Amino acid sequence: MKTAIKEDAVKERLDFARNNILPVMVPILLAEYGKATPPDEKADDACVEKIQERFPFDSILTEERDTVDANITGTNEYQWVIDPLDSTYNYEKQIPLYTISIALKKNGRLESGLVYHPPTDTLYHCQREAGAFMNNALIHVTPISKLGSARVSLVHDMPYENHDMTGLKQKLEQKIRRPEKWACTSLELANVASGLTDGFVKPSDNPWGVSAGLLLVKAAGGKVTSYRKKGSNARIHVASNPFIHDKLCRIVDDYVKA
């Protein structure tokens, strides 16, 4: 009975995110699209206000509140991890590749997540060990087993935390069929989960941009491994179908140990 109650608490929050949080955030993003100042903070405020009204004892970590003073520390085991606008760059340039990303942790473990793509009204959501869905249809990672046939979202050319990623990018490009560069982390991970692409290898120094997407990949039957290169606070995340995962990991492992 206790387990069922705990599961219901997770589902309750996921449903709340879908039915109560997104409806106040999405109109803000759509209304401000194309204007000079992205509405990150406005969407963030609307989201946080909703959560605090319904779940006043939950912790909240968002991109707009990433400092210790701005964090909202609750008194229970639940923490929301939110990126109110993933890929501000795309949004500013009016490139329709941006999302809202919301994940929920319980005692530090990811339990549920959603990624919403406003331009196409596409919602990806999942609950740990309960499958991943795109607009309520069950999704699954691809069965591609050869790197030479794989489409993989890759690291960029520019340095990341003073680490040159060019060598890693070039090694990966030599092995895969086609690199994908959407410049929207959560959407790239959702693409892996839904089978649009086969893998993802990119660094991240924060949890809000990757948490929901990484859980989506796992829930869709994929695998996730994270690496940290010496001297860096960032993690390089490898997320893919299970058939090419070890091959991608070997390339990243060589880079990290070099």
- pLDDT recorded at residue 219: 98
Residue 43 sits at the vertex; the CA angle it makes with 91 and 67, to the nearest 5 degrees, is: 95
Q: Are residues 130 and 181 in the same domain?
A: no
Residues 134 and 153 in one domain: no
pLDDT bin (cut points 50, 70, 90) of residue 38 is: confident
For the segment 125-149, the average pLDDT, to the nearest whole number, is 96
Q: Tell me which residue range forms the domain holding 33.
A: 2-139
**Which tops the pLDDT comparison, 96 or 158?**
96
pLDDT (mean) for 77-96: 94
pTM of structure: 0.92
Band (91; pLDDT cuts 50, 70, 90): very high
Least confident of 127-131, 178-182, 190-194: 178-182
Domain boundary among 115, 139, 163: 139
Tell me, what CATH number does 231's domain have?
3.40.190.80
Residue 64: pLDDT over 90:
no
Question: Do residues 77 and 103 share a domain?
Answer: yes
Statement to judge: residues 185 and 253 lie in one domain: yes
Among 120, 139, 158, the domain-final residue is 139
Residue 159 pLDDT > 70, yes or no? Answer: no
Bigger pLDDT: 63 or 243? 243
Mean pLDDT value across the chain: 90
- Amino acid letter for position 215: L
Same domain as 111, residue 26: yes
My answer on whether 43 and 117 are in the same domain is yes
- Among 139, 158, 192, identify where a domain stops: 139
- Rounded-to-integer distance, Cα 38 and Cα 211, Å: 22
| Residues 102 and 154 reside in one and the same domain | no
Is residue 241 domain-shared with residue 119, that is, in the same domain?
no
- Closest to 201 (Cα-Cα) out of 234, 231, 162: 234
127 and 151 share one domain: no
| Burial status of residue 120 (CB atoms within 10 A of its CB: 0-12, 13-18, 19 or more) | exposed
pLDDT at 117: 98
- Examine the domain organization and report whether 91 and 29 are in the same domain: yes
What is the mean pLDDT of the segment spanning 207-211? 94
Domain count for the chain: 2
CATH number (domain holding residue 7): 3.30.540.10
Q: Which pair of tokens denotes residue 31?
A: 């209304």
- Domain co-membership, 186 together with 220: yes
Task: Taking residues 136-164, report their average pLDDT.
Answer: 85
One domain for residues 17 and 131: yes
pLDDT of residue 2 exceeding 50:
no
Q: How far, in Å, CA of 210 to CA of 231, rounded?
A: 21
Q: What b/e sequence results for 161-187 when a residue is b if at least 16 CB atoms lie within 10 Å of its CB, and e otherwise?
A: eebebeebbeebeebbeebbebbbbbb
Cite the DSSP H helix spans in 55-156. Answer: 88-92
217 vs 180 pLDDT, higher one = 217
Residue, of 180 and 219, whose pLDDT is higher: 219
